[in-house]
Amino acid sequence: MPKKMLLVIDVLNDFVHSEGKLNCGEDAEKIIPFIVEKVNDFVQEKHPIVLVKDAHIIDDMEFARFPAHCIKETWGAEVIEDLTFLEVYPKVYCIEKQRYSAFYNTNLDEILKVEKPKEIYITGVCSNICVLYTVEELCNRDYKVFVYKDGVASFDTQAHEFALQQMENVLGAEII
């Protein structure tokens, strides 16, 4: 079996919880059971998991485009309660990012070099922003990328559909 890795992108209180500052709505809430199921599958098979976490400073320039959200060391920047069991999983990596791509100013490249996955599976929000830009960089690094259609969501349904098409038709990721 090829070595697999799961990326869980921005499944954080501010994006997914109903009281989050930049809540992605019902579509994001609906994918949580699927994400938890996939996380459990990867844990059972002892594959590495990367929790990608938006983590901004108080005056982040991104807040000129979006309301303030996922400020470091706040409830909003924490992984949702359904996934906190991963804190004890020995093959979990947590990376904090300040921009859309999980590669910008993070150690994701180093994690990938250590783990050497043959297949990378993607879940999370927002499919048209952080998911898309992370998938783009993975594909440009020649990783075999699979995006779980039932494991990604956005606050914008039209942009979500466009992002899935781009990831599949332009970047070469498989939408499963």
> How confident is the model at residue 1, as a pLDDT?
62
Smallest CA-to-CA distance from 112 within 83, 78, 70, 140 is with 140
Q: What is the sign, positive or negative, of the torsion defined by CA atoms of 94, 129, 80, 40?
A: negative
d(CA 133, CA 34): 22
Cβ 169 vs Cβ 139: under 8 Å: no
DSSP E strand stretches across 61-108: 92-97
Tens-digit pLDDT profile for residues 85-102 = 998 999 999 999 999 999
Q: Which domains does the chain have, with CATH numbers?
A: 4-175 (3.40.50.850)
Cβ 40 vs Cβ 46: under 8 Å: no
Tens-digit pLDDT profile for residues 129-176 = 999 999 999 999 999 999 999 999 999 999 999 999 999 999 999 999
> How confident is the model at residue 87, as a pLDDT?
87
Tens-digit pLDDT profile for residues 37-55 = 999 999 999 999 999 999 9
pLDDT band, very low/low/confident/very high, at 72 (cuts 50, 70, 90): very high
Which DSSP helix (H) or strand (E) runs through 32? Answer: helix 32-44
d(CA 112, CA 50): 10
> How confident is the model at residue 54, as a pLDDT?
97
DSSP calls for 137-165: HHHHTT-EEEEEEEEEE-S-HHHHHHHHH
> How confident is the model at residue 52, as a pLDDT?
98
Residue 103 phi/psi, 5-degree rounding, is: -95, -30
